Each structure stands twice: as C-alpha cells, then as structure tokens.
A and B are shown apart, each in its own frame.
Chain A
Amino acid sequence: MLLTGLLALGVTTGVFISLSILLLVAERYMANYGTCVISVNEGSSVFELQGGGTLLAALYENKVFIPSACGGKGSCGYCKATVLNGGGPILPTETPYMSRTELRGGVRLTCQVKIKENIEIRLPEELLSVKEYKGRVSLVRSLTYDIKEINMDLIDPEEINHRPGQYVQILAPGPDGPVFRAYSISSPSYEKNYVQLIVRLVPGGIASTYIHNLKEGDEVIFTGPFGEFHLSEDAATEVVCVGGGAGMAPISNIVHSIYHRWPERKCHLFFGCRTTKDIFYLDMFEQLAKEHPGFKVTYALSDPLESDEKWDGDTGFIHLSVEKRLTSEHKRQAFMCGPPPMIEAATEILKSKGIWEEDIFYDKF
C-alpha cells in the first residue's frame, strides 16, 4: 500500500517536473515575440529589441538605469516603472511591493515584465540622467571589525554630480551572475572625482563580501546616483541626522556637504553603536564641531560597557538620545539611515518634536 502510494507520488512529481521543463524549453526556443518597441517618457527614449527578455534587462542594455538591488529576482521591489501600454497583467510576485495607488496607476516591477509586445512606460525624469561609471579603488580602510571605507576614483566618466544622501548601485559578481546592490555615497557632494562608500560586511552577503575583498587598483562598475533625499537649500532649516552602523554613509555626506557650503548652519548628528568597538568617525566629528559651533554630535552606546572601558557619551538607544537632547523647534529636516527598528522608533520621536513627516527622509538599512 505504502509502496503504491510512493510510486504514485513519484510518477505525479515526475510528470509535473517534465511538463515544467518542457514549458521552459518551449518558451526559450519556440516562442518568438518578434521585434518590440520600448518607448520611455513619451518617446524621449525609444529602442527596438527582440522580445522575450525582461523590461529591466532591456532598459539596462539601452543605458536606462533604474534602481534594482536583487538582480531581477523580484525580491527588492526597487525597479518600478509606470507601464502605460503593453506588459500584460500585474503578477502576484509584484503586488506586495505596491501601494493601492500604484496598483491603480499601472506601476510594475520591470524585472517581472516580460517583453512580448510594444511597451510604453513612464519613469521619473531624474532617472534618465543616471549613468554607468567605471571607477578604480584608491583606498580601502577598516573603520571597525566589520565596516570598511572604500574610495573609488572615477575613470569613465571622470565626474559625478550627486546630492547629499544619494546612493549608487555596485555591480558585484554573484554565483548566479552579476547583481547590483545599493550603497549610499559617503563622500561629500562637492567631491566630484571620486566616490566613497562605507560598507558593513554581512555574513554570506554577495556584494559586501565582494567590496570587502577589493584591493587598491581594482576596477569597479556602478550606476547612479539614485535616491530621494533632498537637503533643504534654506540655510535657516536645521538638519537632524540619525544613524547606526553602516548607516553613517549618507549622514557623513550630508554633514560635510552642509559645512562646506553653510559654515554657520545648525545640524545635530545622532549616531548609535552597540559597543565601543562599533565607534568610528567620532574624533573627526568632534573636530568638525569645534570648527563649526552650529554642529552638535551625540554618539550613544546601547550595550553595557566592559569593566575596563571608559565612555562619557550617552548610553541606551539612540532614539532616546534624540528625545532627550532635541528641543521642539520649527524649520527642521531629518535624515536617517539604519535598521528598521531604529528608524521607526526615531521617526515617532522626531514627529513628536514637531518635524513634519514630509521633512523626514530615511533609508532602512
């Protein structure tokens, strides 16, 4: 009886697997979608290509670079575009990443859209100016036991224009082919000839392992800049930065960009670490605070100190330092980067201090 059951199960599974393989082979070799036309932003970019691939790959091949951090697997939700015509119905793999408004508005994940017909899409204009860069590693420096700072001099093009808080996507070799991963630019926006990253080594992480193994002289490909952080041009607007771990990258960029342009502007940096081993850049920011009286810096340690350690900064969660030290004032913008629990806790406190939700920008991670 058991043997018959197992046999039936085996045969059924075999039939399903065979059918799946047959469908994949048929799709690969027999389906011919012919030449399809992709039109971006009412014809501002138009290209023809052989159908069958994904919209994300087609855009990349034609130098239209949009954010994508999972290599087209539909697991990051970044590669959104509004599909006006063609593209077929939205797939169940896309809906978790969409709001109701996006669903109604025809927003799709381009990695999930297969090109079988002419497609017309709309992208934010800003994305059309994103470029692919080749850089050469000029500096690799350990900041902590698991965080490195990497500088890449630009080779082609030789300059990059970016806003404080924006990010690039590094092309890293993965076991199933190249993948892109997003990293915030930590070098200030006035530095146009190189890009600096601050990268935490994630155990088993494809891109962070690749970056941590880079040596001076290695060449790196990346696209960018991307990102929605908008630092107010109004010097009277105080800036609050909250970060933790590798979340320092966009914050370092913002702080240095501010004091290069507005030496008198007010800015308060809050940075959370678990232990003294996670601290970096504190001396540099304390020096900056001496040079610019409008700048305040607060580091907090969330884990208890070892018996032989000394620390005269804050202790506890960083959002509690924000609550304790930030007074309620008007005209503030906040920028945050770190783990989601930190961002959520700090957001509540910033709102309670009178900062409007639209003036709070964050990168979770």
Chain B
Amino acid sequence: MAIISIEDLLNRAREFEERLEKYYASIRDESQDNGVRLLTYYLSRHRRHLEEALSDYSPEELSRIGRVKLKYDIEFYPEKVFHLMKTPPQEVKGRELLEAAVGYDTELVDLYKKILQQPLSTEAAVLIESLIRLEERDIIMLKKMIAMNYF
C-alpha cells in the first residue's frame, strides 16, 4: 500500500513498530540469552523516541502536517528489510537483532529522504528532517554496539 500523506507515513511507521515491539517481547519470553533479552528492551524504545520527536509539536500542528499530501506515492514495506521476524525468537542472536535494526532505520531514512524530495510545506519538511536526524543518530549508536561486539 502506497503512502499518500504524512499522516499515512506516521501511522504506517507506528503500526510496524508495534509489531516489532511484540516480536521483541516474544524474544524476551523465549530467549535463553540474557544479553539479547536486555537488548530487546533497548530496541523497544525506538517507538518512544519517535513519539518524543513528535511531542515537540502541538496536536493542531501535527494534524496540519499530517494532512499534507505527497505529490507522488511512495512505497513502504519495512517487513522486507526485517527478515528476522521470520526467525523463531529463541534462535535470534544479538548481532542479528542489531543489524536488522540498522537495516530498518536505514530504510526509514531513505523513505524520509524520498519524501523530502517532494514539494512539502516548510513545517512538514522540518518534521521530516528531524525524523531523519533521529534515525541517523540511532543508526550510529546501533553500529557502535555492533563494533563493540557486546551482544
């Protein structure tokens, strides 16, 4: 299903993140690796970060930005990059989780950048730019954790 407005975009991202949270919760229940379980708590906070970024805006502002229509439809299928959700939770390794999270964040950044190339109101562009920074910061932290070989 294509994204045709900013509201569509935010709803689709939220929807996928809710599915991710459920998957992380199933890992916490079933994994024997405590490092991986701790990591899932950290990764589950991603949705909260998104909500925190949006909390800078009043409901009226968000509603106005949400109504902004995209001139060209954009495809968004995040499950394509999160292959890991097909892996049984008890078998997931920490590094795989981190790499999948980097893949998902990268997909979001690409998506937001495609949206920024379209004609948008300044207000909507500022919101999308802040979401890009949020995801890029997350990618940096996740890559550092991969490099440090903690999990």
**CB-contacts of A334-365 with B (<8 A):** 339-342, 344-345, 364-365
CA distance A303 to B38 in the complex (A): 12
Chain A residues, CB < 8 A from B151: 339
**CB-contacts of B128-151 with A (<8 A):** 129-130, 132-133, 136-137, 139-141, 144-145, 147-151
- Number of residue pairs A-B, CB distance < 8 angstroms: 54
Partner of B148, one of A77, A95, A303, A339: A339
Q: Is B133 touching A302 in the complex (CB atoms < 8 A)?
A: no
CA distance A325 to B137 in the complex (A): 33
Q: Is B41 touching A302 in the complex (CB atoms < 8 A)?
A: no
0 or 1 for each of B48-65: is its CB under 8 Å from A? (1 = yes):
000000000000000000
CA distance A100 to B149 in the complex (A): 31
0 or 1 for each of A84-124: is its CB under 8 Å from B? (1 = yes):
00000000000111101000000000000000000000000
Q: Is A96 touching B133 in the complex (CB atoms < 8 A)?
A: yes
Chain B residues, CB < 8 A from A97: 137, 140
The smallest C-beta distance from B133 to any residue of chain A, in angstroms, reads 6
Judge if A134 is at the interface, Cβ distance under 8 Å: no
Judge if B34 is at the interface, Cβ distance under 8 Å: yes
Closest-by-CB residue of A relative to B129 is A95
Judge if B119 is at the interface, Cβ distance under 8 Å: no
**CB-contacts of A151-185 with B (<8 A):** none
Partner of B145, one of A98, A245, A302, A340: A340
Q: Is A75 touching B140 in the complex (CB atoms < 8 A)?
A: yes
Chain A residues, CB < 8 A from B133: 95-96, 98
- Using known A-B contacts A100-B130, A202-B148, A339-B150, determine if residue A317 contacts B34 with beta carbons closer than 8 Å: yes
Q: Count the A residues whose beta carbon is within 8 Å of the partner chain — how many?
A: 24
Chain B residues, CB < 8 A from A364: 141, 144
The smallest C-beta distance from B27 to any residue of chain A, in angstroms, reads 13
The smallest C-beta distance from A116 to any residue of chain B, in angstroms, reads 26
Judge if B88 is at the interface, Cβ distance under 8 Å: no
Chain B residues, CB < 8 A from A274: 34-35
Chain B residues, CB < 8 A from A342: 38
Q: A203-B149, A302-B38 are in contact. List 18 more A-B contacts (CB 8 A).
A: A95-B136, A96-B132, A96-B133, A96-B136, A96-B137, A100-B130, A205-B147, A245-B150, A274-B35, A302-B34, A339-B145, A339-B150, A340-B42, A340-B145, A341-B38, A341-B41, A345-B42, A364-B144
**25 A–B contacts, CB within 8 A, in A order:** A95-B129, A95-B133, A96-B132, A96-B133, A96-B140, A97-B140, A100-B130, A202-B147, A203-B149, A205-B147, A302-B35, A316-B34, A339-B145, A339-B150, A339-B151, A340-B144, A341-B41, A341-B42, A344-B42, A344-B45, A345-B38, A364-B141, A364-B144, A365-B144, A365-B148
